[in-house]
Amino acid sequence: MELIHTCYRITDVDRSVAFYEALGFEERGRFPIRDEATNVFMGLPGDGDRLELTYNFGVDGYELGTGYGHVAVTVEDLDATLEQLAGQGIEPERPPYRVREGGSRLCFVRDPDGYRIELIER
């Protein structure tokens, strides 16, 4: 078995693609689902299409609920990444921190639909 991708629903394709491109993802393709929706596949350089964003026509919002946690990605330099994201209007929920002494620095940002993305410094 292999985990091949994660999917969640979005409300604006271009806005979401721009957000994930700011995090370093590449758009790999847009695929129509009949006249109901569009799937956008994205991936990080050198990796597979790990993120599927689904835009359902005519839907302008979703309940995130209490079950969703976050998607995590690693970054080489958290401060440089946050500086680059700030230039695009993306701010962390709070300043970087460590969960435990000696652990990696991390912080969270939210995508345009409110999904949390954890940035973990390598």
96, two tokens? 């970087």
pLDDT in tens, 97-121: 999 999 999 999 999 999 999 999 9
> Are 18 and 54 found together in one domain?
yes
> Are 56 and 76 found together in one domain?
no
pLDDT tier at 36 (50, 70, 90 boundaries)? very high
Domain range spanning residue 120?
69-122
Provide CB contacts within 8 A for 55, sequence distance 6+.
Answer: 9, 10, 11, 12, 13, 16, 37, 38, 39, 40
Which entry of 26, 27, 52, 118 is annotated as an active-site residue?
118
Mean pLDDT calculated for residue range 68-90: 95
> Are 4 and 48 found together in one domain?
yes
Question: Model's pTM, two decimal places?
Answer: 0.90
35, two tokens? 């006249």
Give the count of domains, the chain. 2
User: Residue 87's domain is classified under what CATH number?
Assistant: 3.10.180.10
> Are 80 and 37 found together in one domain?
no
**Residue 49's closest CA among 36, 31, 70, 22?**
31
Q: Is 27 a catalytic residue?
A: no
Select from 19, 37, 60 the last residue of a domain: 60
